[in-house]
Amino acid sequence: MTQPVDLVEVWRGDLMECVHQGHAVVCDGSGDVVAAWGDPTALIYPRSSCKMIQALPLVESGARLSDEQLALACASHNGAAIHTDRVNAWLRDLDLTDDAFRCGPQMPNDRTAREGLIKADEAPCQVHNNCSGKHAGFLMLAQHLKAGAEYHEIDHPVQQACKAAFEEVTQEASPTFGIDGCSAPNHACTLHGLAKAMAFFASAQDRSDARSQAAVKLTHAMAKYPELVAGEGRACTELMRAMGGKVSIKTGAEGVFTAIIPEKRLGVAVKIADGATRASECVIAAILVRLGVLNPDHPATQARMMAPITNRRDILTGQIKPVAALHPV
């Protein structure tokens, strides 16, 4: 990895206890870098931050999808009832059951759902996997393509379609791929490429081709249903709500975050070198504030950009904050 720069400081008392380094890029509709911290050429896995790209072939297939389904296809959800009920209904529409998934089971992040499973001595299903909406979309596309059941394999038509879409919107030939937590391939790109892809979504309203139309639908669905994209208490949900549906954002594992800002035709991509979510959330909030689309004083902003660190007795012991280079201009 190319040299990252300091982006986030973690303070306890009057000592900086930790520092998070990384890279961040803001790109316009023509793919030009508007602002950058660290190295835009850093090669990364976008992980779940690129789910809206992976959903493009599904929308382009002409499948009938509600906005809720589109939001779930882009989601890393909490496995709450609002998510699993809708994904299960989607499965039933496809005449499939949980066994058709290839994402694997995951204990839900949602407290009510998790404690419900524990109290019932039940193991989580694959529908509880935070990626089950994306996988429902993969299954739907596989049916449409009349392709086989192993839709997660790299040479399956579904994944080949996802790769083609990924390479087009990032404007890069992906040099390699990794296997994600949900068993789907995740294609590598530069951080600049990921920001270009987000700018493709942000500027899609200006174009009339099928891919751009699909991008508009997905961007709109994410911003319309922020609670389906993540869940109560989560950064994606709370920050999208704070921006009143004008901006779509998406977290990814190992410190990735993306943002689509249609009103400014800007795309944003963030990668924390050490993979820390507390840092990627701080950086994306700081950049959205700098770009004038997120209120710095909103509680959801403060909770990420200037996150208090409290202890087991709720005593304030420290704070997470962006470096000066990320402060509002």
How many residues in the chain? 329
Binding of a copy of itself at residue 254 (CB under 8 A)? yes
Nearer to a copy of itself, 46 or 137 (CB): 46
Question: If DSSP codes are grouped into helix, strand and coil, which group holds residue 209?
Answer: coil
Site string for a copy of itself, 122-141 (x = CB under 8 A): -------x------------
Binding of a copy of itself at residue 306 (CB under 8 A)? no
Residue with tokens 């959800």: 77
* CA dihedral for 298, 300, 302, 308, sign (positive or negative): positive
What is the Cα–Cα distance from 228 to 306, expressed in whole angstroms?
25
Binding of a copy of itself at residue 315 (CB under 8 A)? yes
What is the Cα–Cα distance from 278 to 283, expressed in whole angstroms?
9
Binding of a copy of itself at residue 255 (CB under 8 A)? yes
Binding of a copy of itself at residue 318 (CB under 8 A)? yes
Which of positions 95-124 make contact with a copy of itself (CB under 8 A)? Answer: 102-106, 115, 118-119
Which of 218, 149, 153, 208 is closest to 180 using CA atoms?
Answer: 153
Among 146, 208, 299, 313, binds a copy of itself (CB under 8 A): 313
Smallest gap from Cβ 129 to a copy of itself, in A, equals 6
The Cβ of residue 231 has, within 10 Å, a number of other Cβ atoms equal to 24
Binding of a copy of itself at residue 248 (CB under 8 A)? no
Nearer to a copy of itself, 103 or 286 (CB): 103
Binding of a copy of itself at residue 179 (CB under 8 A)? yes
Helix or strand (DSSP H, E) at 223: helix 210-224
Which of 47, 19, 12, 29 is closest to 262 using CA atoms?
Answer: 29
Nearer to a copy of itself, 105 or 157 (CB): 105
Smallest gap from Cβ 7 to a copy of itself, in A, equals 11
Which of positions 188-217 make contact with a copy of itself (CB under 8 A)? Answer: 188
Binding of a copy of itself at residue 299 (CB under 8 A)? no
* CA dihedral for 305, 181, 173, 38, sign (positive or negative): positive
Binding of a copy of itself at residue 63 (CB under 8 A)? no
What is the Cα–Cα distance from 288 to 205, expressed in whole angstroms?
20
Residue with tokens 């174009």: 207
Question: If DSSP codes are grouped into helix, strand and coil, which group holds residue 35?
Answer: strand
Nearer to a copy of itself, 12 or 327 (CB): 12
- Ramachandran angles phi, psi of 322, nearest 5°: -75, 155
DSSP state, residue 3: P
Scanning 19-27, 52-60, 76-84, 195-203 for contacts with a copy of itself by CB under 8 A, the matching segment is 19-27
* CA dihedral for 106, 110, 116, 119, sign (positive or negative): positive
The answer to whether the CB of 104 falls within 8 A of the CB of 124 is no
Among 34, 35, 43, 145, binds a copy of itself (CB under 8 A): 43
Site string for a copy of itself, 268-297 (x = CB under 8 A): -----xxxx--x------------------
Residues at the site binding a copy of itself, with contacts judged by CB under 8 A: 1, 10, 12-21, 43-45, 102-106, 115, 118-119, 129, 176-183, 186, 188, 254-255, 273-276, 279, 311-315, 317-318
